[in-house]
Amino acid sequence: MRLNNLKTIVSENRPIINGWLAIPSSYSAEIMGHQGYDAVTVDLQHGMIDFASALTMLQALSATPAVPLVRVADDSPAQIMQVLDAGAYGVICPMISTPEQARRFVSACRYPPQGIRSFGPARGLLYGGADYPHHANREILTLAMIETREGLANIDAILETDGLDGVFIGPNDLSLTLTGAASAESTHPEMLSAIELVVSHCRLKQKIAGIFCTSGAAAANRIAQGFQFVTPANDVMQLGRASREAIALARGNEIPTTGASGY
Ligand code: 3PY
Ligand code: MG
């Protein structure tokens, strides 16, 4: 089976830089996959992407060096199993608040006896190789999103889930629940200590600590803080910013920091 390069990167103590796709386009996916990201995630929760588009995006990513990941809409096993069959080499599951939810999520990613994944590897075989069914349990990456007050309180028990590779903080949702305002780079004291708590528990349990960021500079700060998996903004934010910069430069104006998209 094709090895999951992300597991190698983690074992070598290097950070994973992950691209994020919200625009339903195999062409964008192909472009992003060729930019040097270690992984690129197709977002089925907040992105404008349905399964048919996700399939073509995973196919496009297969032709690039980036490891294809999917953020699913929730912890329902049917969609988790479908994106794995479509060739995702890892799943990011939002809104994991309890160890039971974490177990349900990981179990859907693992063939028996470790889990309940149903057999029908489809594109997994094409991307991973003929022996995919024998090694998929070892290679597929599982990241549970911590973005609720309850998830934060249960961080220890969630990290103890067998087969869970790590957690990925959703800072917008987490700050919304902790402080009343969604802000990915919130400096509210409750957010700062929540983030420190997650990083320190991941370090103790030797699990991946991941987080969504709003820029490359913000991602560099998170790596310095101890995160091993960072997403330096998504395609929509990057497209908006690049456009604003080009327009401002052409007009000889100052580059605005936020645009119509709110990013
Ligand atoms: C959040 O910040 O809540 C996210 O889910 C990022 O994708
Ligand atoms: Mg979120």
The answer to whether the CB of 43 is under 6 A from ligand 1 is no
Residue 146: the pLDDT is 98
pLDDT at 257: 78
Residue 258 domain-assigned (yes or no)? no
Q: Which two tokens stand for residue 80?
A: 């988790």
Q: Which residues contact 180 (CB under 8 A, 6 or more apart)?
A: none
Nearest-CA residue for atom 5 of ligand 1: 170
CA of 204 to the centre of ligand 1 (A): 24
CA distances from 96 to 154, 177, 182 (A): 10, 14, 18
Helices 216-225, 189-205: axis angle to 10 degrees equals 60
For residue 251, tell me if it sits in a domain.
no
- 93-113 pLDDT per residue, tens: 999 999 999 999 999 999 999
Angle between helix axes 51-62 and 77-85 (nearest 10 degrees) is 40
Pocket test for ligand 1, best of 146, 173, 191, 214 (most atoms within 8 A of CB): 173
Counting ligand 1 atoms within 8 A of each CB, the residue from 45, 145, 222, 229 with the most, and so the one to mutate, is 145
Question: How many angstroms is it from 95 CA to the middle of ligand 1?
Answer: 10
Domain-located, residue 249: no
Which residue, by CA, sits nearest to atom 4 of ligand 1? 170
Q: How many structural domains comprise the chain?
A: 1
- Contact by Cβ (8 Å): 9, 207: no
* Span from the CA of 45 to the centroid of ligand 2 (angstroms): 9
Per-residue pLDDT for 259 more than 70? no
Instruction: Please report the pLDDT score of residue 49 as a whole number.
Output: 98
Burial 59-93 (b: 16+ CB within 10 A, else e): bbbbebebbbbbbbbebebebbbbbbbbbbbbbbb
| Residue 252 forms part of a structural domain | no
pLDDT in tens, 194-204: 999 999 999 99
Of the ligands numbered here, which is closest to the C-alpha atom of 182?
Answer: 1
Which ligand places an atom closest to the C-alpha of 234? 1
Q: What is the pLDDT of residue 258?
A: 74
Residues 6+ apart with CB under 8 A from 156: 201, 205
Residue 248 lies in a domain: no
Place of tokens 């104006």: 253
Residue 18, beta-bridge partner list = 39
CATH number of the CATH domain containing 179: 3.20.20.60
209 inside domain: yes
Residues facing 65 on adjacent strands: none
For residue range 219-251, what is the model confidence (pLDDT) as tens digits?
999 999 999 999 999 999 999 999 999 999 999
Stretch 167-186: mean pLDDT? 97
**144 in any annotated domain:** yes
User: Cis omega (within 30 of 0) on the bond before 113?
Assistant: yes
Q: Is the CB of 24 under 6 A from ligand 1?
A: no
Does a structural domain hold residue 244? no
Protein residue with its CA nearest to atom 1 in ligand 1? 170
Active site residue 46: yes
Closest CA to 184 of 194, 172, 195: 172
Ligand 1 atom, smallest distance to 171 CA? 2
Domain range for 75: 5-236
Question: Which is catalytic among the residues 46, 135, 188, 201?
Answer: 46
Q: Decide: 20 in ligand 1 pocket, CB within 6 A.
A: no
The closest ligand to the CA of 41 turns out to be 1
